[in-house]
Amino acid sequence: MGEHKITSTGSMAWSAEAGDDTREMMFVFHRGAQTFALPPTSVAEVLGQLEVTPVPFAPGWIEGVVGVRGDVVPVLALQTYFGLGKAEAVASRRLVVIRHEAHTLAVWADRIVGVEAVEVGAFEPPLGNLPEAMLKVCRSHFRMNETVVHCLDLGLLLTESRARVVAG
Amino acid sequence: MRFIRNLSLKWKLFGSAALVMALITLVMLSYYPASQNRALADGLRAKVTAVATMLSSSLAPAVQFQQMAGVEEIFGGAAKDAELKAVRVEDMEGKRLAGLKDDSMVQVLKPTSGETPDIVFEEELLQVALLIEAGGAAVGVLRMTYVLDSFREQAAQVWTMSLIISLAIFVIGSGMMFAVGSRIAKPVLRMTSSFHHMAAGDLKQEPLVVTSDDEIGTLGKAYNDLLQQLRSLSDHARSISEGDLTRSIEVQGDLADAFRAMAATFTEIARRFDELSSSLDDRTANILTTTKQQEAGAAEEASTVSEVTATMGELAATARQIASNAESVTHSAEATATTVGQGRTALSTFVGSISDIQQGNKVINDNIVQLNRHVQQIGGIIDIINNIADRSDLLALNAALEGTKAGEAGKGFLLVAGEMRRLAENVFNSTAEIKQLIGEVTEATNATVMATESGMKSTKRGVELAQETERAFERIVDTIEQTTQASKQISVATQQQHTATDQIVSAMGEVSEVAQQSLEGIRQTASSVAELSNMASQLRKMIGRFKVRREA
């Protein structure tokens, strides 16, 4: 895999080339030992600490629900869902509210890197050694300062998670 | 005779047998040849008588009638006899009528009978003369001469044979007697040798092998019995010499009785010695124990006396030192009284200074407490700033997201949001540093407050101690005055003590010398008793070698 330039914008800077066609903007955040990326358009908003209400008889990877501006949004425990073990709660964590079509979901981020401009050529197919549940919803991956960033397909994630809920 | 007595038995038997055989030989040689000669002569005489009688009767008619023709035929048979040397026939006047062979050698022998010829044995010849009778009257004389060579030869052969037979009887008889004598003498010689060994004290020889019941066999059995008895007594004597007095003597006799008596006497002596040595051993052990106790006591006494002497010497030296020190104490007490007065003045000044320090510490402590309170307020403000920065970061992040969604139109908005996030992060870092500094300041002020409070307590305690020291100084002055008086009295008392201890040291020296002499005497006694105990032990050990039957 070759080296591809990634213009780190995030909270620090915004590249003048952010709008060109050779780059794609990605919302990057850390959770546990993994780093994930989502399209910024699918991120509704980022919130601070909120109290999560547990849902009885919900699967283990549904941590509970939160109230976001009048809506009840389920909180998905990404690590548990992907079979990567239970992630520890970090004091400075953020709740990322993501939306796809009419569905809304929230996931915890230990630290948010920001919105990054990634060269289109930097994207590569998902790594083959990922857990099955993660491989199903992982669209591609790229490297950022030697860190592997897994790009999640939000539509697949919502569809799969709903299918697992239905399947019980 | 002495030589004969010293000869051995077999030679004596052989000599006796040889003497008897010699006598028998002599008798045979003197009797047998003579009888044989007589028998030969009788035979010859009978033969000659028969021949003469036959010829006389045959010749009688011819001689009566003087008709001698044809007499050769009468002589015919006799003429063949080789021993017949000559035959001569004469008339009564001695005239030769006829003859045979060389009849000139026939000597004149006057016949006396016509029936029995007269026969005369000469050296080598036999002369025969017989009257020839016819009709009851003597008509002539018949003379014959025989040669005795054959007769003499036969006689000599008889003599030689007799001699040979006699010698053979002598040799064989003597040899048989020598063999018999040797057979009889051999066990006797063996017993003689054994008796010699026995007499020399050698009882290790083998018993004799007895194969007969005759006198020699009986003698051998008696010898074996004697050897067995002597061996048994020798074994008992050896057991006694090795100390075993428990063995019983099975053999009988005067010698065995004497041995039994000797063993009984030895047993009694051993028992008595054992009792005496045991008693002696016990008593010497008791004496030794007592002597060792005395020795230990005397040594302890000598040691104690030495220690007391040394202690008294040290006491005298100490008394001298005390007297000297008492004078020094007097001088020191006076100097101390002066110094204590100066100390009391300095102490008053010190108490004033301590009070000033205490007041200053109180002001510092109040200020530090106030400072700490302000620092805590700063910490609260920092938390507020931090909260604001956190919310700003969230807002900037959401603004960036909205800017991204707005596309080209939100580009500027996105830049501003980025700057805001950077500022928020700077605020985060700064507030973190301020919080760290506040923590350090709080720790320092707390430590200062504690140190100040500790200092205040110390200064308060210092003031109390100074006041207490001042009171102590007053008591010291009183004590110094008492010490001065007491040290003067001690000086006088120790002088007197020094004199008394010198006298005691001298007396203890004499006592120590006497104790040493007593200790030396007891040690010599203990050594002698130990030797005596050792000798008693050796005596018991020696007596212990004798095993005796214990009386019930």
| Nearest CB to A11 within list B390, B404, B425 | B425
Query: Quick one: B362 and B467 in the same domain?
Result: yes
Tell whether B432 lies on the interface with A, counting CB pairs under 8 A.
Answer: no
**Domain for residue A161, yes or no?**
yes
How far is Cα B427 from Cα B421, in angstroms, rounded to an integer? Answer: 10
Tell whether A109 lies on the interface with B, counting CB pairs under 8 A.
Answer: no
**Tell me, what's the pLDDT at A151?**
95
Tell whether A12 lies on the interface with B, counting CB pairs under 8 A.
Answer: yes
| Nearest CB to B398 within list A19, A41, A46 | A46
CB A95 within 8 A of CB A46: yes
Q: What does the buried/exposed string (b/e) look like for A79-113 if buried means 16 or more CB atoms within 10 Å of the residue's CB?
A: bbbbebeebeeeeebbbbbbbbeebbbbbbbbebb
Tell whether B93 lies on the interface with A, counting CB pairs under 8 A.
Answer: no
Query: Quick one: B167 and B194 in the same domain?
Result: no
**Domain for residue B530, yes or no?**
yes
How far is Cα A105 from Cα B267, in angstroms, rounded to an integer? Answer: 128
Instruction: Classify burial at B89, counting beta carbons within 10 Å of its beta carbon; exposed 0-12, middle 13-18, buried 19 or more.
Output: buried
- Tell if the CB–CB gap between B418 and A25 is shorter than 8 Å: no
**Tell me, what's the pLDDT at A27?**
94
Q: Which residue has the tokens 């799969």?
A: A160
Tell whether B380 lies on the interface with A, counting CB pairs under 8 A.
Answer: no
Segment holding B235, helix H or strand E: helix B215-241
Q: What does the buried/exposed string (b/e) look like for A46-72 if buried means 16 or more CB atoms within 10 Å of the residue's CB?
A: bbeebebeeeeeeeebbbebbebeeee
| Spans of chain B, pLDDT less than 50 | 552
**Domain for residue B267, yes or no?**
no
A58-73: average pLDDT? 92
Query: Quick one: B168 and B278 in the same domain?
Result: no
Residue B49 CB contacts under 8 Å (≥ 6 apart), including other chains: B116, B117, B119
Closest approach of chain B CAs to the CA of A86, in angstroms? 25
How far is Cα B203 from Cα B85, in angstroms, rounded to an integer? Answer: 86
Residues of A in contact with B390 (CB under 8 A): 48, 92
Segment holding B196, helix H or strand E: helix B149-199
**Domain for residue B329, yes or no?**
yes
A&B contacts, CB < 8 Å? 63
How far is Cα B290 from Cα B453, in angstroms, rounded to an integer? Answer: 78
**Domain for residue A1, yes or no?**
no
What's the CA angle centered on B225, arms B219 and B226, to 5 degrees? 90
Tell whether A90 lies on the interface with B, counting CB pairs under 8 A.
Answer: no
| Nearest CB to A27 within list B401, B414, B418 | B401
Instruction: Outline where DSSP puts E strands in B331-431.
Output: none
CA-based end-to-end distance of chain B: 67
How far is Cα B501 from Cα B314, in angstroms, rounded to an integer? Answer: 9
- Chain B residue with Cα closest to A117: B404
Residues of A in contact with B397 (CB under 8 A): 11, 46, 94, 112, 114
Give chain A's mean pLDDT: 84
Q: How confident is the model at residue A18 (pLDDT cuts 50, 70, 90)?
A: very low
User: Amino acid identity of B104?
Assistant: S
Closest approach of chain B CAs to the CA of A41, in angstroms? 6
- Chain A residue with Cα closest to B395: A46
Query: Quick one: B243 and B371 in the same domain?
Result: no
Query: Quick one: B457 and B476 in the same domain?
Result: yes
Tell whether B201 lies on the interface with A, counting CB pairs under 8 A.
Answer: no
Q: A100 pLDDT exceeds 80?
A: yes
3-state secondary structure of B141: strand
Q: A158 pLDDT exceeds 90?
A: no
How far is Cα B175 from Cα B489, in angstroms, rounded to an integer? Answer: 140
Q: Among residues 382-411 of chain B, which lie with CB inside 8 Å of chain A?
A: 390-391, 393-394, 396-398, 400-401, 404-405, 407-408, 411
**Tell me, what's the pLDDT at A157?**
87
How far is Cα B309 from Cα B301, in angstroms, rounded to an integer? Answer: 12
**Number of domains chain A contains:** 1
**Domain for residue A26, yes or no?**
yes
**Domain for residue B220, yes or no?**
yes
**Domain for residue B264, yes or no?**
no
**Tell me, what's the pLDDT at A159?**
84
Please report how the helices B411-544 and B254-405 are oriented relative to each other, as an axis angle in degrees rounded to 10. 180
Query: Quick one: B82 and B220 in the same domain?
Result: no
Query: Quick one: B165 and B281 in the same domain?
Result: no
**Residue B94 has which token pair?**
């001695």
**Tell me, what's the pLDDT at B106?**
67
- Integer angstrom CA distances of residue B91 from B78, B107, B117, B140, B286: 20, 15, 16, 4, 150
What's the CA angle centered on B397, arms B395 and B401, to 5 degrees? 115
CATH of the domain at A71: 2.40.50.180
**Number of domains chain B contains:** 3
**Domain for residue B551, yes or no?**
no
**Domain for residue B305, yes or no?**
yes
Q: In terms of C-beta distances under 8 Å and separation of at least 24 residues, what long-range contacts does A85-94 make, across chains too?
A: A85/A32, A87/A31, A87/A32, A88/A32, A92/B390, A93/A49, A94/A29, A94/A46, A94/A47, A94/A48, A94/B394, A94/B397
Segment holding B274, helix H or strand E: helix B254-405
- Integer angstrom CA distances of residue A12 from A94, A112, B258, B430: 18, 12, 142, 17
**Within its chain, how far is the Cα of B132 from the centroid?**
120
**Residue B495 has which token pair?**
């002088």
Residues of A in contact with B393 (CB under 8 A): 11
- Tell if the CB–CB gap between A41 and B418 is shorter than 8 Å: no
Tell whether A48 lies on the interface with B, counting CB pairs under 8 A.
Answer: yes
How far is Cα B83 from Cα A25, in angstroms, rounded to an integer? Answer: 199
Closest approach of chain B CAs to the CA of A68, in angstroms? 14
**Within its chain, how far is the Cα of B282 from the centroid?**
31
CB A41 within 8 A of CB A53: no
A153-158: average pLDDT? 86
Domain of A123, in residue numbers: 6-167
Query: Quick one: B249 and B379 in the same domain?
Result: no
Residues of A in contact with B407 (CB under 8 A): 19
Ordered strands of the A103-109 beta sheet: A43-47, A94-100, A103-109, A71-76, A62-68
Query: Quick one: B298 and B330 in the same domain?
Result: yes
DSSP-assigned beta bridge partners for residue B86: B101, B145
- Higher-pLDDT residue of A16 and B121 is B121
**Domain for residue B549, yes or no?**
no
| CA neighbor of B132 nearest in space, from B118, B142, B143, B117 | B142
**Residue A162 has which token pair?**
């709903």
3-state secondary structure of A88: coil
How far is Cα A166 from Cα A160, in angstroms, rounded to an integer? Answer: 10
Query: Quick one: B245 and B278 in the same domain?
Result: no
Query: Quick one: B362 and B443 in the same domain?
Result: yes
Closest approach of chain A CAs to the CA of B373, in angstroms? 28
Query: Quick one: B305 and B240 in the same domain?
Result: no
Tell whether B415 lies on the interface with A, counting CB pairs under 8 A.
Answer: yes
Q: A112 pLDDT exceeds 70?
A: yes
- Tell if the CB–CB gap between B414 and A10 is shorter than 8 Å: no
Domain of B12, in residue numbers: 2-182
- Out of B259, B293, B319, a domain closes at B259
**Domain for residue A98, yes or no?**
yes
- Tell if the CB–CB gap between A10 and B421 is shorter than 8 Å: yes
